[in-house]
Structure 1
Amino acid sequence: MTESETVFSEKKKIIGYVAGWKGVDTARIHAEKLTHINYAFANVIEGLVTEGEGRLEQDRENMKKLHSLKSKNPDLKILISIGGWTWSKGFSDAVLTEESRKKFTNSAINYLIRHDLDGLDFDWEYPGMEGDGNIFRVEDRENFVLMLKSVREALDSLQEVTGKYYLNTIASAGFKKYLEVNDLGAAQNYLDFINIMTYDFVGPGTDTTAHHTNLFNPKEGGRSAAQAVYDHVEAGVPIEKLVMGLAFYGKSWKNVEDENNGLYQPGEWNRTFPFLQLKELESQKEFERFWDDESQAPFLWNRLDRVFISYEDPESIAAKVKFIKENKLGGAMFWEYNEDSEDRDLLNAIFENMYNP
């Protein structure tokens, strides 16, 4: 790394995922408050990293718009996120053999060159276990590491040609089974950092209300962002390589029992809300905001309509950023940029708390 790259790597990261299918409006992106943008997503089709079906022109135009943000922030890094919940079905086959991994790696490098990117972010959901109906194998454990090694070596070879350092990162799951079926201790050797998806702890199929992106959890064995970090460290990942995920959306239940202001009560799964809408709900008299001090998480409760909402707000973000700084994590990432309020309340909360003295 050059001296400037070393300085940049030491700066706490603020990584925003941008959903390509929503388009890119550069006027709404505060590039000076981000260190990285992960553009979502590229697909894996027939063993190759490629633009999604019918997306080539849209992705090309979106990438150009993202690159233009470097005029506001020359240090901004732009990566492609490969996979995601829906598009992770091709990974296991793509990395099954040495020959297929070479083919896959070359396609990833070609994608990076084609769009003049600063790195690759692999969002395989999940190696060694089921996500959205993806093929998975026991061999994924070893092949995931071999894939990352192959990509790292190819990026280093490209650096010898261009003189530029390229990032290799992943999005990892915020639950322990993912760490049990994978070898993150070996994988991290080929990664610059790991974005932990410390959200969606509950959701569709959960018939009891709870926090979905809480920092702590007082319940024995309960899931939390902090526990996910501790589990990754126990799995062999240096804590400075870990980036904590934040949710720019909330999850709701309906027909909730009227006890404990709706928290930890039986209810029916309802839907997700972007923070943009949640900010409006906060101002409605039917909804009352509560703060769970043990979990360091807010929630909204509508007693009249019996609707409970778990979400992220500036106060919970401040608590998480404090945890990130005190424990010397690499930084914070969030899904997804367009779901923030018009005033960018959540991004501002990350930025102001991250860089305050």
Structure 2
Amino acid sequence: MRVSAAPFSRALLALIAFVAMPVLSSSADPVASAPAVSASREIIAYVFPQNRVLAPDEINVRRLTRINYAFANIKDGQIVEGFSHDAENFAILNEAKRTNPSLKILVSVGGWTWSGGFSDAALTPRSRERFILSAVRFIERYKLDGLDIDWEYPGQPGAGNTFRPEDKHNFTLLLAELRLRFDKEQTRLHRRLYTSIATGASSKFLLNTEMDKVQRYVDTVNLMTYDFYVGGPATGHDAPLFHNPADPKNVSADRSVTEYEQAGVPASKIVLGLPFYGRSWGEVENRNNGLFQPGRAARGVHFSYPELPNLIATGFIRHWDSAAAAPYLYNPRTKVFVTYEDPQSIAEKCKYVTAHKLRGIMFWEYSNDTTGILLEAVHGGLTPPPPASSAGN
């Protein structure tokens, strides 16, 4: 099933959200007057415009600490532009730093589709040097602040990509040598150069990497704690925070974070990933409101957040899984199930990030919520409240 992107209603969005957003004074500019993100917390947006030019004011940079622009590609072992308007978009994002001078802009290389060149690029000292030199040139050309490596996945086939057992150690070597080169280049460029990685949330990813060593060479580990249920014969949460005992796959963001910490990654480098989209299953019988039930997954179909009110208006009912801290929608008439993220689940994840002293939150991807409601939930959840006023005391 696929729902068309029809005009949305903010009242219906509020119904889906189920939680009130922070109230701002009507006399103030809600963007200009909002407190800044805590310096110890990252809010990282993956921005994926593909073959289009970003509008100058499209990205609310006041709410972000970092943008990971997706994706650069790998050709002949070197980083190259992925899409036709990348140069224009980098210029637009750099101009946005006038609004938020502390904003960092990284280019993310690879991704699910374009990770095929990583194994070859990391294979030998010479191939790694070639890749890293191209990274330096790319960053200098576009005045960027660093590189995000999105290798999906070392030692695993991913989307039919080349992979080798040697990937496990070569992944470490690539990042170590990248960090060493960036340390030299930032002295020449007079600015800090950042490195990060997007990592799988599975135990298998940890078995095929040396994360205790890798973490030394990166500023953040952007943990993709979503896509736990992609396709498959049964419904489930795309991004549960905790494990629901009824979940046959026994997956959760909490489990992934725990396993990464046990593998040697400090909490202070872990960034928790959120999905700004939903997935659906059809032919789901009305048992347990459709959760963890057999069904037919709608492959490749993503719902952006503004599309969800259309579902509420056509008979879907919102449910809250308190064990998993995750919302979902089910229509008992059409027997369709939808998993997604909303402000209530984001608030719980922000509390988790704070309680567990994680580095922050990242999300895929910015354009999936043109309302800004989900980003506001992230910002509100990670921004400390202003100190109590002493006026009148």
Could you say which TM-score interval applies, normalised by the shorter chain?
over 0.9
2:222 maps to which of 177, 195, 202? 195
The 5 Å alignment of 1:141-220 reads 141-204=168-231, 206-219=232-245
Displacement, 1:183? 0.5
Per-residue Cα deviation, 1:30-66 (whole angstroms, up to 9, x for no partner) = 11000000000000111111112xx3x5100011111
Letter in 2 for 1:144: F
C-alpha separation between the residues in 1 aligned to 2:53 and 2:169?
Answer: 36
User: Whose Rg is larger?
Assistant: 2
Cα 1:9–1:232 shift into 2, 3 Å: farther
Larger mean CA deviation between 347-356 and 329-338 belongs to 347-356
Larger % of helix: which? 1
1:343 match: 371
Per-residue Cα deviation, 1:314-355 (whole angstroms, up to 9, x for no partner) = 000000000000100000000000001x32110000001110
Per-residue Cα deviation, 1:248-269 (whole angstroms, up to 9, x for no partner) = 0011000101111111111000
Aligned residues: 344
SS of 2:244 mapped into structure 1: coil
**Contact between 1:41 and 1:83, CA under 8 Å: does it hold in 2?**
yes
Displacement, 1:130? 1.4
Displacement, 1:285? 4.4
Displacement, 1:10? 4.5
2:323 aligned with 1:297? no
2:80 aligned with 1:80? no
1:264 maps to which of 274, 281, 292? 292
**Contact between 2:239 and 2:252, CA under 8 Å: does it hold in 1?**
yes
2:381 match: 353
Letter in 2 for 1:13: E
Letter in 1 for 2:205: Y
The 5 Å alignment of 1:1-357 reads 10-21=39-50, 22-52=52-82, 55=83, 57-204=84-231, 206-219=232-245, 222-270=250-298, 271-282=301-312, 284-340=313-369, 342-357=370-385
**Contact between 1:20 and 1:41, CA under 8 Å: does it hold in 2?**
no
C-alpha separation between the residues in 1 aligned to 2:126 and 2:188?
Answer: 24
Task: With a CA cutoff of 8 Å and minimum separation of 6, indicate the structure with the bigger relative contact order.
Answer: 2
**Contact between 2:278 and 2:303, CA under 8 Å: does it hold in 1?**
yes
C-alpha separation between the residues in 2 aligned to 1:355 and 1:249?
Answer: 23
SS of 2:302 mapped into structure 1: strand
Uncovered stretches (5+) of structure 1, i.e. residues with no partner:
1-7
Q: TM-score, normalising length from structure 2?
A: 0.85
Displacement, 1:233? 0.4
Cα 1:318–1:20 shift into 2, 3 Å: same
Displacement, 1:9? 9.4
- Identity over the aligned pairs, expressed in percent? 44
Q: TM-score, normalising length from structure 1?
A: 0.94
**Contact between 1:37 and 1:79, CA under 8 Å: does it hold in 2?**
yes
Per-residue Cα deviation, 1:208-255 (whole angstroms, up to 9, x for no partner) = 110010101133761111111111101100011000000000110001
C-alpha separation between the residues in 1 aligned to 2:106 and 2:130?
Answer: 20
C-alpha separation between the residues in 2 aligned to 1:217 and 1:223?
Answer: 6
Letter in 1 for 2:384: N
C-alpha separation between the residues in 1 aligned to 2:38 and 2:181?
Answer: 20
Per-residue Cα deviation, 1:56-111 (whole angstroms, up to 9, x for no partner) = x5100011111111111000000000000000000001110011111111011111
C-alpha separation between the residues in 2 aligned to 1:351 and 1:75?
Answer: 16
Larger % of strand: which? 1
Displacement, 1:280? 3.4
